Amino acid sequence: MSGNHVEIWNNCLSVIKDNVTEEAYKTWFEPIVPVSLENNLFILQVPSPFFAEFLDEHHLNLLKPVIKRFAGEKVKLAYKLPVDSSASNGTMTVPSSNRSVPKNPIGQPPPQRLSDGPINPFVIPGLKKLQIDSQLNENYTFDNFIEGDCNRLARSAGMKIAKEPGKTAFNPLVIYSGTGLGKTHLCHAIGLETKRLHPEKTVLYVQAEQLSTQYVTANKNNNRPDFINFYQMIDVLIIDDIQFLAGKAGTQDVFFHIFNHLQQNNKQIVITSDKFPSELQGMEDRLLSRFKWGLTADLQAPDLSTRTSIIREKLYDNGITFPDEVVQYIASNVRNNIRELEGVMNSLMAQSLLNKRAVTLEMAQQIIDRFVRNTVKEVSVEYIINIVCEYFKISPEQLALKTRKRQVVQARQIAMYLAKKYSNASLAAIGQQCGKKDHATVHHACKTIANQLETDKQFKVMFADIEKKIALQ
């Protein structure tokens, strides 16, 4: 092993940078500070417990071999986390999950009780309520959330909530849209602006799947009351992608009690979904009715003017300029969602920097043609079911029937397979819409169709005809 810990980390970064996207590198690796390398223990300082958990869950397969390459095969990884100022040195060091240490929902040692009672699944033991990691992305602000006709209602409601959390008629605020139209960005913007205007408020952003995982763990450890008490402490609770609670009766039940407590105590609730609340399948009616108490606002695909503004804002943030004809071409040809728009721009900027060439209209045309051709469109499960039923000349009601009739069973399995491929719905949600089946049935259906596609040429031709109709949406 040669070189000090800073040099070793810089060598690691040079490899990591070539193996992740620019956005992932800036978000998850640039903030890391190498602290020390002693006795085969490599300590990296990270901004928060959530940050450490995300590294372990999403980047450890890259991080471990790279560190071993430059620091030696016997090296172990640990994270240095910020803690209470009353601690002796202002930090706490915890092992990465590459060591045999029990984990709580954010990857830290087993949780302990806070001084005021409930277990806090978001910070290391001993921190006070106001020091909860809000899990907000500092890059997602109202300043860079471009306003247009497509999002004006939701954005205005979000700003109003940030000024007076829990005191408006927008409680809960339910934001719904398809993928890539800014739901998550707006959620973080609401949370960040609330914290800026009301630093005394406890704000928490959590994905619905994360909430469900934490509940399962709490229930297994007989900590259900502590779990509920923790969430009832929150002043502004933001739940992203609520549709992932579909079919999860236990989590829905506990969320119902949390929702009621927060609402009754004038605490703010913000929820996002991929569809209008009444269209959510596998959700309890009592929850759906509560989602309608406040304001439901949708985010639509941005119009040409908004897309142009988004492009110019991103270019400005990156200190880059494109010719006006390129900006207009991108805005006119990438229409589905903001994520696609940013993907095209990132590709163009990367091509320009790597090849040391100015961005031209021809370059933009080539990238957009390739990007749009290779992009799989997301469609709704309901739309897929209707296409399949139309092909088999059956009704959606027939597809949902409990029957062993071959035509219906095959149609249902094809619908499940295509829904998994083209939609963002969970297996549980797909099952609910295809005759209230469970996720195991959907998984089995997908395997069955995949096997038929490999072994049955006639079936493959029929399947291609159905898929072509969906792709034309």
Q: Which CATH number fits the domain that encloses residue 29?
A: 3.30.300.180
- Which residues on adjacent β-strands are paired with residue 271? 174, 239
Binning pLDDT at 50, 70 and 90, where does residue 82 land?
Answer: low
Q: What is the CATH number of the domain that holds 433?
A: 1.10.1750.10
Is 441 part of a structural domain of the chain?
yes
Q: Are 294 and 308 part of one and the same domain?
A: no
Domain extent for 24:
5-110
Task: Judge if pTM exceeds 0.85.
Answer: no
* CATH number of domain containing 261: 3.40.50.300
Stated as kind and residue range, the H or E segment containing 240 is strand 236-240
For residue 220, pLDDT over 60 is answered with yes
Q: What are the C-alpha distances in Å from 142 to residues 138, 187, 345, 398?
A: 11, 10, 21, 47
Q: Does residue 354 sit in the same domain as residue 408?
A: no
pLDDT tens digits for 423-448?
Answer: 877 788 898 889 888 888 998 999 99
Residue that is last in its domain, among 110, 140, 168: 110
Instruction: Please say if the pLDDT value at position 359 is more than 90.
Output: no
Asked whether the predicted pLDDT for residue 70 surpasses 70, the reply is: yes
Enumerate long-range contacts of 379-382, CB under 8 Å, 24 or more apart. Answer: 379/422, 379/423, 379/470, 379/473, 380/275, 380/423, 381/281, 381/415, 381/419, 381/423, 381/425, 381/429, 381/430, 381/433, 381/434, 382/279, 382/433
The total number of structural domains that make up the chain: 4
182-216: pLDDT as tens digits = 899 999 999 999 999 999 898 999 999 889 988 88
Residue with tokens 């969970």: 426
How is residue 56 annotated by DSSP?
Answer: I
Q: Is the pLDDT of residue 101 over 60?
A: no
Q: Which tens digits make up the pLDDT trace of 127-176?
A: 344 457 788 999 899 988 888 888 888 999 999 999 999 988 889 999 98
